[in-house]
Homo-oligomer: A and B are copies of this chain.
Amino acid sequence: MRIGIDAMGSDDAPGVEIQGALTARPLLGGEDRIVLIGPESLLREKLAGCGVADWAEWIEIHHAGQVIHMDDSPVEALRAKPDSSIARMAQLHRDGTIDACISAGNTGACVAAAQMRLRRLANVHRPGIAIIMPTFHGPVALCDVGANVACKPQHLHQYAVMSSVYARTICGIQSPRVGLLSVGEEEGKGNDLIKRTHELMKADASVNFIGNVEGRDLFCGTCDVMVCDGFVGNVIIKLVEGMAEGVVRGMAGEMAAGLPPELAPQAKKAAKTIMGKYDYNEYGGAPLLGVDGICIICHGSSNHRGIMNAVRVAKTFSTTGVNERITTLLAGESR
């Protein structure tokens, strides 16, 4: 397969993307290629200086002369910058030149480009982003985390179906337990959206629905998939990131202050280990589920391992037939 990578997406672009493409080689089969999308001369220059002589055996370059920045308004930027790496990449996927998209750039622009250029899978109402959250009790797939901030019950129900397929494929969980995020475990708790979604999910035997869950359940090993609307999910992922940093830093400080000076490095090391357990780079980005293609969205501050793991996710996504499975499960749905 041919895997496109937006070379200008991450905070440290294009270095991170190039390094990611180089280290991803062992993941690729003989026919597989990585297509870096960005300013051709810049990318050639960087690749020439990378010390890997044979990069051209698995990396191709496709020119894109513009860049969408993190603070650009997604839809306006896509209109104003048709030659941007994100717009070009989505177009290449649509044309069939590439079979997957990876970007650590502006999430809104990636989602909008994918939605504009790629079709939805049959019977899918709205695509959703499913992120794998590392927790002390194992990974939890959280969907949606920002593609859709105006969810309807049918959208949330489909996120449960699609994320279950994804969690089974990527995390190897045979029958993922699905929780619906609410303000209480009881069936009647929540707002109107949640109450109506609860009914839909309860009636679908293909989903291993365990009922409503609460915020704390994300860290308790209660469920393998947690479904919420994109507004709530986006608040959550940013909150968790901010808090993990704050608590770990505070804890390291407290430890260091109370320890004999020669043991202070130990506190730093523990903080690093613990942050590693929350490291999104291990999971290589979040797929936009429900589009007829493969679109993997990475964190803006991804490192090259994050990009490399996104390549791995794209490969797994393709070889295990995630989209085909979703299409089968949703075959009975009417639009």
Contacts and interface: CB of A to CB of B under 8 A. Distances in A.
A230 interface: yes
Contacts of A192: 150
Number of copies of this chain in the oligomer? 2
A277 B234 CA distance: 26
A254 B258 CA distance: 16
A27 interface: no
A146 B182 CA distance: 11
A274 interface: yes
A266 B270 contact: no
A interface, how many residues as a size bin? 35 or more
Given A191-B231, A214-B238, A266 B273 contact: no
14 contacts: A136-B249, A214-B238, A215-B241, A216-B243, A217-B242, A219-B245, A235-B235, A236-B239, A240-B243, A247-B248, A247-B251, A250-B277, A251-B274, A258-B270
Given A183-B231, A215-B236, A251-B271, 16 more contacts: A194-B231, A215-B235, A215-B239, A215-B240, A215-B241, A218-B242, A218-B243, A219-B242, A219-B246, A231-B232, A232-B232, A239-B240, A243-B247, A247-B251, A251-B274, A254-B273
